Chains A and B, each alone.
Chain A
Amino acid sequence: MRTEAFRGLRRVIPCLLFILPLVTGCWDRLEIEQRATVLGLAIDTESAVAEEAPRDVGKSPSIDATTSSGMDVPYGGTLFRLTAQIAVPGRIPLGPGEGGGGGGGSRPQEAVWVLHSAGTTVNDALQQLQQQVADKLFLGHLRILVVSEAFARARGMQVLTDFLVRHPEVRRTVWVVVSRGRAADLMQTAPPLERVPTLYLMSTLDHAKQMGKLSNDFFGMFASKVVAPGRDPVLPYVEVMQRDNINLTGLAFFQGDQMVGTTARPFDISTYMLLTGVRPGGYTMMVQVPGQADTVMWQAYRRKQRVDVTFANGRPHLSVQLHIDGNVTEKSSDRVNLDDAAVIRRIDEAVAAKTRANIEAVLERTRELGTDPVGFGEYVRAKHRRYWDRAVKSKDRWRDLYPDIPVDVRVTVTTHRLGMKGR
């Protein structure tokens, strides 16, 4: 019995000696404090940085024409400026109970470290950043990426999309936003609500999404829409307010990966979400009660969308049917009698008319910009294969056709509740 067990053991031990050193994973051992965790990145064109000297962000390295990869004539583009927000390990409070006293966690600026570098591609700039940082840059916790409008218009997102999709550490759920001014400013905001600035930016976007105020256009969605044959992507468009917070200003429209314009106002986000069939609606609109000078505030809570493609004389014709359910949340005067079903019906009609006008305005803007953010092309591609394969074929051709295709919009509205007041 014993000798048999021994014999078994004698056979097992050489195997273990052979296999065990291989499976310890020591090659890739990297302690958490040896990582420089990048929480946020901002990308600016070099000219935007030159206009304004960097503010109190520590000494920035001199940027000359030679980049870290040793190329003096950058092809395919000019140098851009990368700003990174790196977590300072000891300063980030882990739970809600920590922070405040001790550790210096109460001041948001101290929890992170903001650094600059330059390059012609993201990798190039990151490599230069690595030269300034002792620990290995780690992108697994990258939560937000801000691109300045100037960069998105001049260079497009290709350089970024390729890097982010290729890099194994980067999350697909990272938010990419376009900023109106310098993107670097967003890395330096110090909001008092959250102890880590980038996490505040991220929750601004996440919560807006939950409240139905922002479509779910995170980076993964952008990357899918860029290559989809019948639609163009959008990204959230933000600007810095008073240094400490950001304002969700609208959406940035793209033609492929090239930014071509923005929505006219924040409310257009709602219109875009309505058109793309996002069910929860979070925006409140002001409508004038027909026949009166007074207004009510009306909030949508549920929306339904249906897009049909019909053909007349061999040309496509789009019709969009929308239904919105909502509540009255405020009235401007006692002259509005909400207890009257006829008044409610008139309000419904007013909401429908206003929504239709909003939609027309947004669609007109996309036609002018030559972009199809709603993805009408996808409906044509998916449901009318023969037409698409014969007459459209490519994304560019669809962009040419799109502005001339008539879109019928029909909106029905139902007001359900009035809040806690009876009239």
Chain B
Amino acid sequence: MEAPRFQTVTFLEATATVISTIIGVGVLALPRIAAEAGNSGAPLVTLLGIVLSTVGLVLVTALGMRFPRQSPVEYSERIIGRWPARGVSLLLVAFFATLTGLAAREFAEVVVTSVLPRTPVEVTAIAMLALTAWCCRANLTTFAYAHLFYLPFVLAPGLVIVALSLKNAALLNLLPVVGNHPDAGAIAAGALTVSALFQGSFVVAMVIPGMRRPRRAMAASLVGICVAGGLYLAIVIATVGVFGAAATAEFLWPTLELAKTTLLPGEVLERLDAAFLMVWVTAVFTTLYSTYALTARALRDLFRLGDHSLWVTFLLPYVFLIALVPPDIVRLYQVIEWVGRFGLWITIGYPCLLWLVCLLGGARGDEPHAN
């Protein structure tokens, strides 16, 4: 339950929160995931993933609007009963803590591979997590405002890279639309993995109780996922268009390769990867910020505490440990894929179940008081 004095989140802030939470560390590997699943059909795989995530997000938002002043931990108890709901909520906490840890690790791996080869991975990960934890102590008003503030830095690098590299793209690389040797199984699996990159959008469930007008949450969610999904789709199209599907699947982080290949007009900057990475740190931070805050707040609601900042501090060592678990980059990506797919049960499957029970049982939250 959010204190009434923090119920200040506007439509724009909610939208920005959804966008900057979705756009995060996954954008670097996304074209590879899509190209591996569907070769030249990579944009199709991405689009399917976006559609699936949109379904989940719409359900989460609809639930939030039905219980406009309650958090998911609270309303799920009302819908399916206290103990089953608490069990799933604990899973939700564990999932988002893991997601935070893995995202911090993936970020640290990118940094150590591409720019700071001698800086220990642990240091980069803990620096990022400590910064996130520190910021997470803030209230919901600050949280939403921070997302709005960072939005331009989150969107800019992707948009610039796409705009500058599209002139090198060849339409031929994007055909056939369904890919060669299309395999429905592989495409579906790829779409699930892509959809897992959008799970941060669950944060809207945390934001709705703080919204000034929760009725506008649906619009915020839809605009948010359209913008973030549109950018992701554009990045996949640009990457596959420029390199071709076969080469895209060979790079570990094709989006970074795109930044490397792109020249600023007039060749002022001959490679954009350093600039891209600098700004991209912001996008990683906003994602970590959301998933970390979501974890801490879910714990607060689960244990009926008034303040979440206690949990923020206690969580840090656990999240950091999770970040250190995968022993190498190959298994890191395996774990990310596995955790991400599992998470779909929580971020899409569970809301679906809650919604069905709601429809059958007619559970409904308190009406939000006007104004």
Which A residues contact B (CB, under 8 angstroms)?
15, 18-19, 22-23, 25, 27-28, 165, 168, 171-173, 220, 223-225, 227-229, 375, 378-379, 381-383, 385, 388-389, 393
A185 to chain B, nearest CB (A): 27
Complex partner residue of A27 from B116, B172, B243, B247, CB under 8 angstroms: B116
Residue pairs across A and B with Cβ atoms less than 8 A apart, 7 shown, are: A27-B118, A28-B117, A172-B257, A228-B246, A229-B180, A385-B178, A389-B180
Evaluate contact between A385 and B127: CB separation under 8 angstroms: no
Q: Which residue of B lies closest to A386 (CB)?
A: B176
Does B352 make an interface contact (CB < 8 A)?
no
Complex partner residue of B116 from A25, A379, A383, CB under 8 angstroms: A25
Chain B residues whose CB sits within 8 angstroms of the CB of A388 once the complex forms: 180
Complex partner residue of B260 from A172, A224, A379, A381, CB under 8 angstroms: A172
Q: Which residue of B lies closest to A22 (CB)?
A: B127
Tell me the chain B residues, 142-168 only, with Cβ under 8 Å from chain A: none
A385 with B176, Cβ < 8 A, contacts A27-B120, A171-B260 known: yes
**Bound form: Cα–Cα A23–B119 in Å:** 10
Number of B residues near A (Cβ < 8 Å) is: 35
Q: Which residue of A lies closest to B119 (CB)?
A: A27
Evaluate contact between B180 and A228: CB separation under 8 angstroms: no
A87 to chain B, nearest CB (A): 16
Chain A residues whose CB sits within 8 angstroms of the CB of B127 once the complex forms: 19, 22-23
**Bound form: Cα–Cα A172–B168 in Å:** 14
**Bound form: Cα–Cα A96–B104 in Å:** 45
If over half of B's interface residues share one DSSP class (helix, strand or loop), that class is named, otherwise mixed; here it is: helix
Q: Which residue of B lies closest to A161 (CB)?
A: B250
Does B141 make an interface contact (CB < 8 A)?
no
Evaluate contact between A378 and B172: CB separation under 8 angstroms: yes
Evaluate contact between B271 and A382: CB separation under 8 angstroms: no
**Bound form: Cα–Cα A173–B178 in Å:** 31
Q: Which residue of A lies closest to B247 (CB)?
A: A224
Does B350 make an interface contact (CB < 8 A)?
no
**Bound form: Cα–Cα A179–B157 in Å:** 38
A175 to chain B, nearest CB (A): 13
**Bound form: Cα–Cα A184–B143 in Å:** 59
Chain A residues whose CB sits within 8 angstroms of the CB of B242 once the complex forms: 224
Evaluate contact between A28 and B180: CB separation under 8 angstroms: no
Tell me the chain B residues, 244-274 only, with Cβ under 8 Å from chain A: 244, 246-247, 250-251, 257, 260-261, 263, 270-271
Q: Which residue of B lies closest to A30 (CB)?
A: B118
Q: A225-B244, A382-B172 are in contact. List 12 more A-B contacts (CB 8 A).
A: A22-B123, A22-B127, A28-B118, A168-B114, A172-B257, A172-B260, A173-B270, A224-B246, A227-B246, A227-B250, A382-B173, A388-B180
Complex partner residue of A165 from B115, B244, B251, CB under 8 angstroms: B251
Does B334 make an interface contact (CB < 8 A)?
no
Contact with A along B350-371 (1 / 0, CB 8 A): 0000000000000000000000
If over half of A's interface residues share one DSSP class (helix, strand or loop), that class is named, otherwise mixed; here it is: helix
Evaluate contact between A18 and B172: CB separation under 8 angstroms: no
A19 with B180, Cβ < 8 A, contacts A172-B257, A172-B261 known: no
**Bound form: Cα–Cα A19–B127 in Å:** 6
Does B134 make an interface contact (CB < 8 A)?
yes
Tell me the chain B residues, 111-147 only, with Cβ under 8 Å from chain A: 113-120, 123, 126-127, 130-131, 134
**Bound form: Cα–Cα A164–B148 in Å:** 39
**Bound form: Cα–Cα A204–B181 in Å:** 43
A313 to chain B, nearest CB (A): 23
Does B175 make an interface contact (CB < 8 A)?
yes
Evaluate contact between B251 and A228: CB separation under 8 angstroms: no
Evaluate contact between B260 and A15: CB separation under 8 angstroms: no
**Bound form: Cα–Cα A423–B115 in Å:** 62
Does B17 make an interface contact (CB < 8 A)?
no
Evaluate contact between A173 and B246: CB separation under 8 angstroms: no
Does B347 make an interface contact (CB < 8 A)?
no
Does B201 make an interface contact (CB < 8 A)?
no
Complex partner residue of B261 from A173, A381, A383, A385, CB under 8 angstroms: A173
**Bound form: Cα–Cα A220–B247 in Å:** 10
Does B40 make an interface contact (CB < 8 A)?
yes
Evaluate contact between B120 and A224: CB separation under 8 angstroms: no
A198 to chain B, nearest CB (A): 15
Q: Which residue of B lies closest to A307 (CB)?
A: B172
Evaluate contact between B244 and A224: CB separation under 8 angstroms: yes
**Bound form: Cα–Cα A171–B271 in Å:** 7
A339 to chain B, nearest CB (A): 41
Chain A residues whose CB sits within 8 angstroms of the CB of B257 once the complex forms: 172
B258 to chain A, nearest CB (A): 9
B40 to chain A, nearest CB (A): 7
Evaluate contact between B243 and A224: CB separation under 8 angstroms: yes
Evaluate contact between A173 and B271: CB separation under 8 angstroms: yes
**Bound form: Cα–Cα A414–B117 in Å:** 56
